[in-house]
Structure 1
């Protein structure tokens, strides 16, 4: 792997390249897309990934306090509990050995007896709303750290504030596109880490932000490259000046 922007460097330190700011909370999106903007291939993101993308994916998880994802992404991608890695020992010093997964869901329509809830080293968080089915909420409260944020739907600002209250200020969001759209529309995104796969997909695949209209100005802060895959980091302009 090499860095090609803002300077040229072979074998850059990936942990340093993706380090979070020390002085404020930070919400980072991490997505992969084809060269023509598709967020998945045959319904899943894995077909767009590469060895370098998987390495960066693991570093980003290790650096984070919490991994945020929508229920559709959790179901489609087959999420399980995060497993500890030897390479995380230093970057997670003073924190739990793995970050928890936080699942955003209105319906609570997933298997609460799955390993994601029964075998997680860091207790899984479920973020839902008042309109969620009452019995499902009761079961979710037993299987997870349950957050109720919003009435008819999940209020993203309240959800993020609740994570901050728990000391989880370095948030890594892994999508999907509708969750990304809601976070963007609510002005909560500080950074986008985007892996661009050198393939054309076409068809009806969603873009990485799909749903509510949002206009978020980003500046290109870094580009890494490996085997034709570009790993771009875009940072919110003047993000440090916004209120936490």
Structure 2
């Protein structure tokens, strides 16, 4: 994987290139086709490649928590993040794997599935829901996951982020889907976008990286990597420095079709 901006480099240390800045940070990670679609035939994995999977796993290894909407969890068949030997140094002093936090209003989740029964020690799955969620489902979910109520009739994205940060989960990696992404951007919560551009044209009616009302967030280009025709772009919030925890500057799965339950405002 080569760095092509800024400057050039034959090989890139991905953990260093994608290191989180100091302090809480919410990062989106998405893959999209060259014409902007975020899934093909219902799944984002069809747009991926070996380089994208490398970046995907490094981003997970760096994160304190992986955030995803309920529709993404269902369609992509989410399980818990599994500890990897390559994460040992990245996660020194932290659990061997990050927990997955699912945003859901309706709690339409398979609580008997691996995501809720096979999480690594210290990485119990989190459910981010609201007071309006069915009470019995909330009680049942609490037997399998940590349930965080973040809002009244809908999940409040700002409150959800504050709750995660208060639990020491400040390095947040959101993997979509596009509707969740749009609501996080509209709430001015997104600090970074890590975007894989896949060398494919897919047409169809796939959503873009954001699927929701218009909102504007200005970003600054931090780096571009290239591998086998794929581009790996890291954008950071405009006006901020993409600095690493060690004080130095960088070398500078996917979204699925949205549903009401995946949305913060509906379902």
Instruction: Give me the TM-score of the superposition, normalised by structure 2.
Output: 0.88
Show the counterpart of 2:170: 169
How many pairs were matched up? Answer: 239
Which segment is superposed worse, 115-124 or 54-63?
115-124
Consecutive aligned runs of 4 or more in structure 1 exceeding 3 Å deviation = none
Q: CA–CA distance in 2 between the matches of 1:212 and 1:31?
A: 19
* Structure 1 residue 186 corresponds to structure 2 residue 187: yes
* Structure 1 residue 67 corresponds to structure 2 residue 55: no
Q: CA–CA distance in 1 between the matches of 2:220 and 2:55?
A: 20
| Superposed CA RMSD | 0.8
Show the counterpart of 1:77: 76
Show the counterpart of 1:94: 93
Show the counterpart of 2:10: 10
Q: Name the SS of the counterpart of 1:20 in structure 2.
A: coil
Gaps of 5+ in 2: 242-267
Q: CA–CA distance in 1 between the matches of 2:213 and 2:127?
A: 22
For residue 26 of structure 1, report the CA deviation from its aligned partner: 0.4
* Structure 1 residue 236 corresponds to structure 2 residue 244: no
Matches within 5 A, 1:215-226: 215-226=216-227
Q: CA–CA distance in 2 between the matches of 1:63 and 1:138?
A: 32
Show the counterpart of 2:246: none
Instruction: Give me the TM-score of the superposition, normalised by structure 1.
Output: 0.97
Q: CA–CA distance in 1 between the matches of 2:77 and 2:115?
A: 10
Instruction: Give the structure with the higher percent helix.
Output: 1
* Structure 1 residue 125 corresponds to structure 2 residue 126: yes
Q: CA–CA distance in 2 between the matches of 1:78 and 1:188?
A: 26
For residue 98 of structure 1, report the CA deviation from its aligned partner: 0.2
Q: Which has the higher contact order (CA 8 A, sep 6+)?
A: 2
Q: CA–CA distance in 2 between the matches of 1:100 and 1:223?
A: 28
Q: Give deviations 1:193-216, integer Å, cap 9, x for gaps.
A: 000001111110000100132110
Q: Name the SS of the counterpart of 2:185 in structure 1.
A: helix
Q: CA–CA distance in 1 between the matches of 2:240 and 2:213?
A: 21
* Structure 1 residue 227 corresponds to structure 2 residue 225: no
Gaps of 5+ in 1: none
* Structure 1 residue 135 corresponds to structure 2 residue 140: no
For residue 238 of structure 1, report the CA deviation from its aligned partner: 2.0
For residue 182 of structure 1, report the CA deviation from its aligned partner: 0.5
Q: Name the SS of the counterpart of 1:143 in structure 2.
A: coil
Q: Name the SS of the counterpart of 2:131 in structure 1.
A: coil
For residue 20 of structure 1, report the CA deviation from its aligned partner: 0.4
Show the counterpart of 1:50: 49
Q: Give deviations 1:109-136, integer Å, cap 9, x for gaps.
A: 0111111011101100000011101100
* Structure 1 residue 153 corresponds to structure 2 residue 154: yes
Q: Give deviations 1:79-116, integer Å, cap 9, x for gaps.
A: 00111100000010000000000000000001111110
Q: Name the SS of the counterpart of 1:146 in structure 2.
A: strand
Q: CA–CA distance in 1 between the matches of 2:213 and 2:232?
A: 25
Q: CA–CA distance in 1 between the matches of 2:83 and 2:200?
A: 32
Q: CA–CA distance in 1 between the matches of 2:200 and 2:131?
A: 42
Q: CA–CA distance in 2 between the matches of 1:239 and 1:71?
A: 31
